[in-house]
Chains A and B, each alone.
Chain A
C-alpha cells in the first residue's frame, strides 16, 4: 500500500508539471536551443517521420473513398478514383450503421456516469475527512495498477451468473468500472490543486456543504471534468477486449469488434472494410483535432496507468 502511495503522488506531481508545460504558450520568437544539427537535415527527419505517421491513415481514406471495382483491381492504389459507394455499402449492407449506434450507446452514457461519479468521489477524497478515507482511496486506485487482464476471466463468469452476459448494460457497467479508478485519481488531484480559501469563504458566508460543492467547486472543476470526459470517451470508443469478451453471441456489436469479425470473414472486401475502418476512426479523429490539448493532458496524467 505504501508503494502505491508513492506511485500516485509522484505521478500526480510529474503529470501536473507536464500539463503545465503543455499549457504554456509557445513563444512566437524562438531562439535556437540545445544544439541539434540545423536546417535541411532536421526538416528531412521531421518530414519523413510525419509522412510515416500519416501514411496509414491516408491509406484508409484513400481506399475507403474509391470505387469498389477500382479497389478490386488495385486494392491499395492511392486516390485513383472517387466514390462514396464503399461507405454506403459498409453503413447499410455491412450493418455498420447499427454498430455505430451500439458504439455510441456504449461510450456516451458510460462517459457521463464516469465523469459524474469521479467528480463526486474525487471531491470527497480530496476535501472531506471521513473514517476509512485513505483505505477507500487505495482500494479504488488499485484498479490503475492491476491490468484488466487479471480480472477479465472471473468477470466473465460473474456477468454470466448475474445474467448480464451478452447484454449491453453488462458491458456498460464494466466500462464504467474500468474508468472509475483513473477518473477518481485524476479528479482528486484536480480538486487538490484548487484553492481551499474559496470554499472556506463560502462556508463563512453560511453556505451549506452541499451548496459549497454545487456552486463553488463544480464550476471550478469544469475544465478537469472536460479533460476526463474526452479521455474516457476515447478509451470506451476504442475498447476492443471488453465487448469481445462480454458480448460473445454477436447480437450486439460495437464498431471495434464488428470490424474484427468483418475483417476475418470478408477478407476480399477491402473497399467496404476500409470504409468501415473510416467510420470507426472518424469520430476519434474529429475529437482529436478539436480537443487535442485536453486529450494530451488526460493521457499524460494517465501515463501512470501504463
Chain B
C-alpha cells in the first residue's frame, strides 16, 4: 500500500517535471536564439574589426576598447550621458515626489490627476519628439511665444538648433515624458506610510517640511532607490528621444553613447567599434542597478520602508 502510494507520487513528480520542461521549452528556445546567441556574438564582435561586408571579421583583441579611451567623441558623449543622468534623475524625482505628496495629502480628483500625469509616459517616443520639436520651433513654437508674452522675448531661440540649448531641450521633453511614472510609483509607496507617526510628529510640533523629511521620506526609501536606479540606467542607455529629436546634432552637441554607437555601426559600418560601445553602455548600467539594489536591500533589512 505504502509502496504503491510513493510510486504514485514519483509518477506525478515525473509527469510534472516533463510538463515543466515542455512548458518552458518554447520560451527558452526563442530567448536562446534571439537573445543569448546575439549576446555571445556581441562579445565576439566587440573584439574584432569588421565592416559588415567582408566574410570574416578580423580579430583585434581589446583594440576597440583601447580606442575608446583615446576617442574624444566618446568622452564628449559620456559627458552628455552624465548630464542626462544627473538632471534626468533629479528633476523627475523632485517634481514627482512633490506631486505625489500633494496628491496623497488629500485632494479631490486624485485619480484624474494620476491619469493626466501618467499619460505622457505611455506615448511613443516618436510622438513625444515630434510634438516637442513643434513647441521648440524657432518662429511659431509655443515656448518662444510664451517667453515673448511674458516679456522675456530676448531668451527666445531655436532651442533644438543651438548647441548650447539642444541637449537640455531634448532632456526637458524626456522629463515631461517620465515624471508621471515617478508620481505613480511614489503615490503607491505613500499608501503604505504609517499615518500615526505623522500625527505624532505633528503633535510634537514638526512643521510640514520636517515631517516630509524626517517622517515620510525614511519610510519610502527603498522605492526612492528603485526609482533612482531606473532613471540612472535610463540616462546611460538613452537613445530613442535623442535620435528622433536631434540625431545627436547640431554637430555633435547632443551626442550620447547610444547615438554614437548607432552611428558607428549603422552609418560608418564600423561594426566592431559600434558593438564595443554598446557593450560599454551595458557595462556602465549594470553596476548602477546592482549597487542601488544592494543599498535598497540593506535599508529594507534595517527596517526602513518595509
Contact = CB atoms under 8 A, between A and B. Distances in A.
Contacts, number: 323
Majority DSSP secondary structure for residues of B touching A: helix
Interface string B228-243: 0110111001011000
B131 A56 contact: yes
B230 A56 contact: no
B300 interface: yes
B84 interface: no
Nearest to A29: B106
A306 B31 contact: no
B115 A150 contact: no
Interface in A125-147: 125, 127-131, 133, 136, 139-140, 142-143, 145-147
Contacts of A22: 184, 188, 191
Interface stretch (A88-96, A219-227, A283-291): A283-291
B201 to A, nearest CB: 8
Contacts of A35: 105, 198, 202, 206-208, 211-212
Contacts of B296: 10
B124 A256 contact: yes
B255 to A, nearest CB: 15
B251 to A, nearest CB: 18
A300 B226 CA distance: 11
Interface string B107-136: 100110101111111111111101110110
Interface in B221-265: 222-223, 226-227, 229-230, 232-234, 237, 239-240, 244, 258, 261, 265
A158 interface: yes
Interface in B45-79: 45, 52
Interface string A240-280: 11000100000000011101100100000010010001001
A76 B185 contact: no
B184 A300 contact: yes
A1 B42 CA distance: 20
A34 B41 CA distance: 53
A121 B103 CA distance: 39
A170 to B, nearest CB: 10
Interface in B258-295: 258, 261, 265-266, 271, 274-275, 278-279, 281-282, 285-286, 289-290, 293-294
Interface in B19-60: 19-24, 26-28, 30-39, 41-42, 45, 52
Query: What class of interface size applies to chain B in its complex with A?
Result: 35 or more
A296 interface: yes
14 contacts: A7-B290, A34-B208, A34-B216, A49-B117, A56-B131, A57-B119, A128-B17, A139-B32, A150-B281, A153-B266, A289-B115, A303-B226, A303-B230, A306-B229
Interface of B: 12-13, 15-24, 26-28, 30-39, 41-42, 45, 52, 95, 98-99, 101-107, 110-111, 113, 115-128, 130-132, 134-135, 137, 140-142, 176, 180-181, 184-185, 188-189, 191-192, 195, 198, 202, 206-208, 211-212, 216, 222-223, 226-227, 229-230, 232-234, 237, 239-240, 244, 258, 261, 265-266, 271, 274-275, 278-279, 281-282, 285-286, 289-290, 293-294, 296-297, 300
Given A154-B38, A259-B126, 20 more contacts: A18-B189, A18-B223, A33-B195, A35-B211, A46-B99, A124-B19, A128-B17, A128-B19, A142-B35, A146-B282, A149-B261, A151-B41, A153-B271, A156-B266, A213-B19, A245-B266, A260-B126, A280-B124, A284-B123, A304-B226
Interface of A: 3, 6-7, 10-11, 14, 17-19, 21-22, 24, 26, 30-38, 42-43, 45-46, 49-50, 52-57, 59-60, 63, 74-76, 117-118, 120-121, 123-125, 127-131, 133, 136, 139-140, 142-143, 145-147, 149-158, 173-174, 176-177, 180-181, 184, 203, 208-210, 213, 234, 237-238, 240-241, 245, 255-257, 259-260, 263, 270, 273, 277, 280-281, 284-285, 288-289, 292, 295-296, 299-300, 303-304, 306
